[in-house]
């Protein structure tokens, strides 16, 4: 079942990869460093606002769907969620509109913020449906809506930048237009599911008790990732933010795609296993996922660090690439630790609803990162910001892994993790041994191809996370006639 779910979410991850890498490649070329820096600051701020305002409700949609469905209360559940979102959207939207109008900001920044606000509210409305489809294991509808929205938003944003004077605001205008289109398609379907339901304030309180600590945890976690950009702007200017964001986006985006892929597929299965079959069933699903995460994420992080030079040369605009290459290995390491923490070790807290403890850990980690940035950015520039993030994530991961076991003892597949590390080292040695080519695109192609081939061979030889069995199952799904009854 896990394999089918992972395959079902592949279209979304393909779209995420195209938008993530395409965004860095295109936006760093058609926007100036200052304009790209403005975009990076606004998207960081809006993401924090979204997490604080709406993510608690989205988390509750995912966590309580199976329980509401099994008890025949799904209509009440969904109606309560939509009513709560509507109230929150009016309050948050109104307050942010006042801030945009009266804040002492330049006209360009206000325009970017206005379109970003519209995109945030429309994406929040769409996200309720997406989380519901994902929790109900309706992978086809989820993937179609999310992948289409990502692609339409990206191309619309690029088109608006090239044909208008919107600049960075065009990116958010494209996202808003795509989200509006997906809402038109999906919202009528979702509203039909609420017919006959009753708004229940007690549900809102239950969802808030569960979800608000998750929102705060994600806010602090996001501050670990993007909070340093505000300090870089303070110490070094918006141009330096663009340099940092370009390298960060390139490394972190790939790893984020991998971990979101696992989270989207594994989290609903784990919840369903816990609700229907108990703790042991949930641990079995989680343990399989942990081994597979290492199989894919370990070489991805190491590979990004190995090909930092040619990758930034090929993908990132010339004005930003040198500085981006210097931080990419550090960001790859922090992205790996962040992914393992967020999409695996945090499950110990969310499965048992001990989300307040998770929020406290992330708040302390964000505070540590802030302190380190205040010291290291003036001394080392943007590299200091990257190193600060690595240190903060390292400590946060260790604390989450240790304290989480008090609530839910997640499996620790040490042997699979060790095998993945060994295979990754073999891959790294092979890539290091390659001669240097003058053409960056050729160097990137040779390094990536050889590294992938070497790692796949080593992984199959070591049978990491039973990958030979997974490969056989995948072949059967693609061509059942090959398998005799």
Give the tens place of pLDDT for each residue, 167-220. Answer: 889 999 999 999 999 999 999 999 999 998 999 999 999 999 888 888 888 788
User: Is residue 472 domain-resident?
Assistant: no
The number of distinct structural domains making up the chain is 1
d(CA 339, CA 345): 9
Q: What is the per-residue DSSP string for 424-472?
A: HHHHHHHHHTSPP-SSHHHHHHHHHHHHHHHHHHHHHHHTGGGHHHHHH
Query: Nearest 10 degrees: CA dihedral of 363, 368, 369, 375?
Result: 150
User: Is residue 163 domain-resident?
Assistant: yes
d(CA 334, CA 353): 26
Average pLDDT in the chain? 85
User: Is residue 58 domain-resident?
Assistant: yes
Residue 54 · residue 88 · CB < 8 Å:
yes
Which has the minimum average pLDDT: 57-66, 110-119, 452-461? 57-66
Token couple for 128: 């309720």
User: Is residue 101 domain-resident?
Assistant: yes
pLDDT score recorded for residue 483: 43
Q: Which residue in the block uniquely carries the two structure tokens 């008090």? A: 406
User: Is residue 62 domain-resident?
Assistant: yes
Q: What is the DSSP letter of 343?
A: I
Q: Which range of residues forms the domain containing residue 157? A: 31-199
Q: For residue 218, which of 24, 92, 43, 49 has the smallest C-alpha distance?
A: 49
Instruction: Give the CB-side neighbour count of residue 402, counting CA atoms within 13 A.
Output: 7
Q: For residue 428, which of 334, 336, 302 has the smallest C-alpha distance?
A: 302
What is the 3-class SS of 358-373, one letter each residue? HHHHHHHHHHHHHHHH
User: Is residue 111 domain-resident?
Assistant: yes
- In tens, the pLDDT along 16-49 reads 877 877 777 788 788 887 788 888 888 888 988 9
Which has the minimum average pLDDT: 51-55, 58-62, 351-355? 351-355
d(CA 154, CA 141): 20
| CB neighbourhood size of 414 (10 A) | 8
Instruction: Give the CB-side neighbour count of residue 319, counting CA atoms within 13 A.
Output: 15
User: Is residue 50 domain-resident?
Assistant: yes
C-alpha of 475 from chain center: 29
Best mean pLDDT range from 3-12, 103-112, 183-192 = 183-192
User: Is residue 156 domain-resident?
Assistant: yes
d(CA 293, CA 4): 16
d(CA 335, CA 329): 10
Residues in the chain: 485
SS3 category, 166: coil
């Amino acid at each position: 079942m896990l394999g089918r779910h992972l395959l079902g979410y592949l279209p979304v991850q393909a779209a995420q990869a195209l938008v993530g890498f395409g965004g860095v490649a295109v936006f760093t070329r058609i926007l100036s460093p200052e304009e790209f820096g403005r975009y990076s600051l606004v998207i960081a701020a809006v993401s924090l606002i979204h997490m604080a305002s709406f993510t608690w409700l989205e988390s509750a949609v995912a966590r309580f769907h199976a329980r509401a469905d099994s008890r025949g209360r799904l209509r009440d559940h969904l109606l309560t969620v939509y009513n709560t979102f509507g109230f929150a959207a009016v309050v948050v939207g109104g307050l942010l509109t006042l801030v945009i109008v009266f804040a002492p900001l330049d006209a360009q920044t206000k325009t970017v913020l206005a379109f970003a606000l519209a995109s945030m509210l429309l994406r929040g409305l769409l996200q309720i449906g997406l989380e519901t489809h994902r929790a109900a294991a309706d992978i086809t509808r989820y993937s179609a809506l999310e992948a289409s929205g990502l692609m339409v938003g990206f191309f619309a944003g690029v088109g608006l930048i090239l044909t208008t004077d919107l600049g960075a605001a065009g990116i958010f205008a494209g996202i808003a237009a795509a989200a509006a289109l997906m809402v038109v398609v999906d919202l009528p379907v979702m509203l039909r599911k609420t017919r006959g339901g009753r708004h229940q304030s007690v549900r809102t309180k239950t969802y808030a008790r569960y979800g608000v600590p998750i929102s705060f945890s994600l806010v602090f976690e996001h501050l670990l990732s993007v909070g340093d950009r505000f300090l870089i702007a303070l110490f070094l200017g918006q141009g330096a933010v663009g340099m940092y964001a370009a390298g960060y986006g390139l490394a972190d985006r790939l790893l984020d795609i991998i971990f979101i892929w696992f989270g989207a597929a594994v989290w609903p299965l784990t919840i369903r296993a816990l609700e229907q079959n108990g703790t042991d069933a949930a641990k079995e699903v989680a343990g399989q996922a942990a081994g597979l995460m290492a199989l894919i994420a370990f070489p991805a992080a190491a590979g990004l660090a190995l090909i930092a030079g040619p990758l930034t040369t090929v993908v990132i605009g010339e004005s930003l690439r040198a500085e981006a290459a210097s931080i990419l290995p550090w960001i790859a390491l922090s992205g790996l630790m962040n992914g393992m923490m967020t999409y695996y070790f945090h499950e110990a807290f969310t499965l048992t609803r001990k989300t307040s403890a998770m929020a406290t850990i992330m708040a302390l980690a964000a505070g540590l990162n802030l302190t380190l940035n205040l010291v290291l950015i003036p001394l080392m520039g943007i590299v200091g910001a990257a190193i600060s993030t690595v240190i903060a994530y390292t400590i946060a991961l260790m604390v989450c892994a240790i304290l989480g076991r008090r609530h839910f003892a997640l499996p620790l597949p040490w042997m699979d993790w060790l095998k993945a590390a060994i295979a990754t080292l073999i891959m790294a040695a092979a890539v290091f041994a390659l001669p240097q080519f003058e053409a960056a695109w050729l160097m990137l192609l040779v390094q990536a191809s050889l590294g992938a081939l070497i790692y796949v061979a080593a992984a199959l030889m070591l049978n990491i996370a039973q990958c030979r069995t997974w490969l056989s199952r995948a072949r059967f799904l693609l061509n059942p006639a090959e398998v005799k009854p």
